[in-house]
Amino acid sequence: MATAQLAAAGGITVGYTDEGSGSPLVLVHGHPFDRTMWAPQIDAFAPTHRVIAPDLRGYGETEVIAGLTPLSTFAADIAALLDHLGVERAVLGGLSMGGQIVMEYYRLFPGRVTGLVLADTFPAAETEDGKRSRNAAADRLLAEGMKGYADEVLDKMVAPNNTEAADHVHRMMTATSPEGAAAALRGRAERPDYRDLLTRVSVPTLVVVGRDDTYTPVADAEAMHAAIPGSTLAVIESAAHLPNLERPEAFNAALRAHLTEQDH
């Protein structure tokens, strides 16, 4: 993927990809990745849509701010970038932490959202054990860097026998700033509970999950699908936590059906 375009937005320098024309589709990456996780979707949808994929604060080519980054800050950063790009309303899609950021964006800016794509994510607030675990993980990343963590979790991120996707995922994880990743982990530990919000979603919503995802199992996706009025559920076979990279044809087919329904 080409070097990011850069913009001053929200008080920081943001790296992003902005390709194609048509209805805007904004794709929000997960942790600890960057916008290149959406390369198959940018290639597939830029011929029909304006696809915007930012690097989140602390990731990729966007400025690193150490400390604690709440989901509300990530959401405000996206709104500031879309203001800079002249995009008032868009379909927002996010995976894992990116999906939680998309939920937060909908909570803050519901009038700016024309549709949602929630992939391999879940809406519940963090448990007390989860808070301790995320903060301990943040401490570890600051002390040790990213490689040990990346080596440990790779086989949970990507289903077996998908070497190309695994290589891409490992590169993203090891290239991520420990300071940026730690700040996101600390902020994510304090996230609100979005389960009630989901029952009030009034835009077309696609829920997607990899069949073999152990971080956010199919049961979590089924619960979100049941909660969101009129939503669609797509389960991607032979994929774990990153079905958009592991099985892009199946993921893109589900996303295209969702977008086509909205565009007509």
Neighbouring-strand partners of residue 63 = none
Judged by DSSP in three states, 52 sits in: strand
| Euclidean distance between CA atoms 38 and 27, whole angstroms | 7
- What pLDDT digit, counting tens, does each position of 60-80 carry? 999 999 999 999 999 999 999
| Euclidean distance between CA atoms 113 and 89, whole angstroms | 5
| Euclidean distance between CA atoms 231 and 136, whole angstroms | 36
Average pLDDT, integer, range 123-147: 97
Q: What is the mean pLDDT of the chain?
A: 96
Nearest residue to 260 via CA among 220, 223, 232: 232
Residue 29 in this model has a pLDDT that exceeds 90: yes
- What pLDDT digit, counting tens, does each position of 90-120 carry? 999 999 999 999 999 999 999 999 999 999 9
| Euclidean distance between CA atoms 184 and 246, whole angstroms | 24
Using CB atoms within 10 A of its CB, is residue 141 exposed (0-12), middle (13-18) or buried (19+)?
buried
The residues spanned by each domain of the chain are 5-263
Q: Which CATH class is domain 5-263?
A: alpha beta
| Euclidean distance between CA atoms 188 and 194, whole angstroms | 13
Average pLDDT, integer, range 16-29: 97
- What pLDDT digit, counting tens, does each position of 145-184 carry? 999 999 999 999 999 889 999 999 999 999 999 999 999 9
- What pLDDT digit, counting tens, does each position of 195-212 carry? 999 999 999 999 999 999
Q: In what side-by-side order are the strands of the sheet with 12-19?
A: 5-9, 12-19, 49-54, 23-28, 90-95, 113-119, 205-210, 232-236
b or e along 18-44 (b: 16 or more beta carbons within 10 Å of the residue's beta carbon)?
bbbeebbbbbbbbbbbbbbbbbbbbeb
Residue 1's pLDDT band, with cuts at 50, 70 and 90, is: low
| Euclidean distance between CA atoms 147 and 228, whole angstroms | 37
Judged by DSSP in three states, 121 sits in: coil
